[in-house]
Structure 1
Amino acid sequence: MAEKLGDLLLTPAEMAAVDAAASDSGIASFGLMWSAGAAVAGAALRLYPGALRFAVLCGPGNNGGDGYVAARRLAESGAEVAVFHLGDLAKLRGDAARAKAECALVSQPVDVYIPTPGDVVIDAIFGAGLGRDVPSQVRSVIEQVTGAMVPVIAVDLPSGLDGRSGEVLGTAFRAAHTVTFMTRKPGHLLMPGRELCGSVEVADIGIPARIVKARSSGRIAENTPIQWAHLLPSAKLGTHKYKRGHLVVFSGETGKTGAARMSAAAGLKAGAGLVTIATPRDAMAENSAHLTAVMLCAVDDATALRDWLADERLQTFVLGPGFGTGVKTRDFAAELSGRHLVLDADGITSFRDDPRELFDLFAEGEPHLVLTPHEGEFARLFPDIAADKTLSKVDRAQVAAKRANAAIVYKGADTVIASPDGRALINTNAPVWLATAGSGDILAGIIGAYLAQGLPAFEAAAAGVYLHGEAGQRAGQGLTAEDLVAHVLPF
C-alpha cells in the first residue's frame, strides 16, 4: 500500500468519497470496518501487552463502529476490555449498529468512565470527520484522561482534532499512537495535530489504490524527495560550475552583512556553482574580510543593479536577509522581476503597505518568485487570507500562492510549500532546534541554490525546505546558524 499511495494526503471529505466509492464498487463496507477495528486491536496488543484494561470509547458513527470491532477482537484475545459509548445506542445505524450488535460486551455511557492506573484508552469517538467543538461530556472525559496521564490510541485521528486543518476543536485527546486507514490526513501533519497524534500508523484495510487515487485531488502530500528528486541535476563528469548555476545574494549595509553571508554560504554548500554577494561599496571591506569562495560585486542602488543585469547569465537572486526595508528594497525587486528571485525577511516586509505592487511585478509567465514568510510576514502580505479562520494552513498557502503567482514557503513547525497551480506539500523533517536566529537566511540560500540549478520555483522551494531540515538534524540540538551552514549538503 505504501508503495502505491506514497505520501498522498486525503482530506476527510475525500476519504468519505473513497469509502463510498469502495462500497459502490462491491466492496463490503462492514468488511472494511472489520479490518479497521482489527488493525486497532492489533496495534493495542503490540504496543501495550501489559495493559490491565483497554477502555474503548465509542462514538455514534462509523468511528465508533471501528471501536466496537476493536473491543471484540481484544476481548477474544483474552484482554480485559471495558466499552463506553456516546449517545443513544438505539440510534446506531448501518455498519456501526452491526458492529455493536456483534460485540457481546456490555457498554456504559462514556461520561461514567473513570481512568484508572493500568488503563489504555482506545479513542473511537469521532475520528477525522468532526466539524464542531466537542460536546461537554466528551470534553470532561478528555480532561480526565489527560490529567490521569493514561495512554491513548486514537482511531483515525484523536477526537477533537480537525482532520483537514490539524486545529483543536475545543479540546482534544493527546494520543500516544494513532491508527489511520489507507492514507494520512492533513491534520496528522499540520500543527498542533502532529503533536497530538503521537506516532501514526497507516493500516491498509483493503481499498484498492486506484479507488483512493481517483477520489483524491492529488494536490496535497508530505514533502519528501519523491516529489522533486527527479528534477535535480545529475552529477556528471562533464559538469562544471557554470552548469550548476550562479546565485546572487544581496547584502545589507555595514554592520548588517552577516545574514547575506550565511545565505550565500548555504547556497554554495547546497550546490550552486558560483555565488556572488552584491554589496554596497561601504560594506565591501566588511564582507571581504569574511569571504573566500564567495565572490563580491559592488551594487549601491537600482541604477547600478540595472547596469549589472545587462549580463543575462545572472538569473537567480536572494533579496531580503539583513538588507533593510523600504524604497531601495522595492526598487531592487522591481529590477529583478524578470529573473528568479527568493524574497525573504526584509524583502517581504518592504511590501507590507502595498502587496499588490509586488504581485503585479511577478504576475506574468511561469512562477519565478519564491516567498518565504513566517506567520507574521504572511499576515503582512496577505492580511485577509491570514484572518480567515475557515481556512487551514494549507488552504491559506494555496490561495496566497495563486494570488502572488509565486511559490509560497509558509514557515513554521509545519512549513507548507504551495504552488499557484494548487499543489501543496507539508514538511515534517525539521527539528525544533531549527528555530534559531539566522536559520531562515540559510533556508533562503538553499532555495536559491536549487533555483540556480534549474528547478522550477515550487520544487526548488520544496527541496530547499527538506534539505534545510536534514541539515538541522545533522547539526543537532544547540545549533547556531554557523553550525547549520556547515551541515548543509546537496541531495
Structure 2
Amino acid sequence: MTQSITVEQSRELDDKTINKIGIPSMVLMERAGLKIYQDMLDNKELNLDNVLILAGTGNNGGDGLVVARLLETHGYKVSILTVGNPDHASEDHKKQARICDYYQIPKVFMNANFDKYTTLVDALFGSGLSRNVGGDFATVIDNANGSAPKIHAIDIPSGLNGDTGEVMGTAIKAASTSTIAYPKVGMLKDEAKPYTGKIYVDDIGIYRGNTFENA
C-alpha cells in the first residue's frame, strides 16, 4: 500500500532532511527536478515539443525552473511564465532563475496564448497552500485548464488541498503529477483523482525513517 503524509508531516520531513540530516535544499531541488523531468519523458501521453513552465516564486516554482533547464539542455523547446512577485521569491528560486537566465531560456507573460504549447508544467504552488487561490494565480490556473495542452503538476496540482483533496477556489486539472517523497493524503481521495491524473512518486532522499519505505 502506498504510504502518504499530511502537509504538516511534509513540512517536518523537509526541515529534518535539510537542517538535521544536512542535505542542502538546493541538492533536494536538483534531485526533484531530475525526477520530474524523467517522469515527463516516461509519460508518453505528454508531447514535449513545446513546453511552458508555470512557475510560482517559491520552491515549487524552483523545481519547475530545474525542469526548464533540463528540457533546454536536452534539446526541447521550453519557456517560463513566472507568476507572483519575483522580489519575494525564495532564495533557492532566485538561484535557479539565475541559472535559467544563463541558459537564456525564454520568458513569457500573462498574456501568453497557452494553446500554442504542447505541455504545461504546473509549478505554481506546493502542498502547503493555506488559502483559496486568487488574483493572477487563479487566472493562470483557469487559463491552463481551458487550454489544449495537457498539464503535468509538480508535487500536487496547484489549488488542491493536500490534506482534504478539496479545491481551494480553483485548481489545476493535471494529466499527471510528480509528487515529492510521498503522496499527500488529500491526493489519494476519490475527489482528487480528476485533478491529479497519473501519480508518480519521486524518491529524492526524504524519508520518514532512515530508509526508503514508499512501497
Q: Give the TM-score taking structure 2 as reference length.
A: 0.89
Separation (CA, whole Å) in 2 of partners of 1:94 and 1:131: 21
Residue 121 of structure 1 corresponds to 120
* Equivalent in 71, 90, 95 of residue 87 of structure 2: 90
1:191: how far off?
3.5
Aligned counterparts, 1:74-85, within 5 A = 74-85=71-82
Residue 22 of structure 1 corresponds to 17
Which has the higher relative contact order, 1 or 2, with Cα contacts under 8 A spaced 6 or more apart?
2
1:28: how far off?
1.4
What residue ranges of structure 1 are gaps of 5+ in the alignment?
1-5, 214-220, 227-491
1:117: how far off?
4.4
Instruction: Say if 1:181 and 1:107 are closer, same or farther in 2 by CA, change over 3 A.
Output: same
CA contact (8 A) 2:52 2:117 kept: no
Q: Does 1:34 align with 2:30?
A: yes
* Equivalent in 62, 77, 86 of residue 65 of structure 1: 62
Q: Does 1:10 align with 2:5?
A: yes
Instruction: Say if 1:10 and 1:201 are closer, same or farther in 2 by CA, change over 3 A.
Output: same
1:91: how far off?
2.4
* Higher Cα Rg, which structure: 1
1:103: how far off?
1.5
Residue 346 of structure 1 corresponds to none
Question: Percent identity between the aligned chains?
Answer: 31
1:211: how far off?
5.4
1:131: how far off?
1.2
Separation (CA, whole Å) in 1 of partners of 2:149 and 2:203: 27
The one-letter amino acid paired with 1:65 is G
CA RMSD of aligned residues (A): 2.1
Secondary structure at the counterpart of residue 52 of structure 2: strand
Secondary structure at the counterpart of residue 21 of structure 1: helix
Residue 44 of structure 1 corresponds to 40
Separation (CA, whole Å) in 1 of partners of 2:143 and 2:211: 37
Separation (CA, whole Å) in 1 of partners of 2:207 and 2:129: 25
The one-letter amino acid paired with 1:103 is C
CA contact (8 A) 1:60 1:85 kept: yes
Aligned counterparts, 1:91-106, within 5 A = 91-104=88-101, 105-106=105-106
Separation (CA, whole Å) in 1 of partners of 2:175 and 2:30: 23
Residue 173 of structure 2 corresponds to 174
Secondary structure at the counterpart of residue 152 of structure 1: strand
The one-letter amino acid paired with 2:70 is R
1:94: how far off?
2.0
1:199: how far off?
0.6
Separation (CA, whole Å) in 2 of partners of 1:171 and 1:211: 37
Secondary structure at the counterpart of residue 127 of structure 2: helix
Residue 415 of structure 1 corresponds to none
1:56: how far off?
0.3
The size of the alignment, in residue pairs, is 209
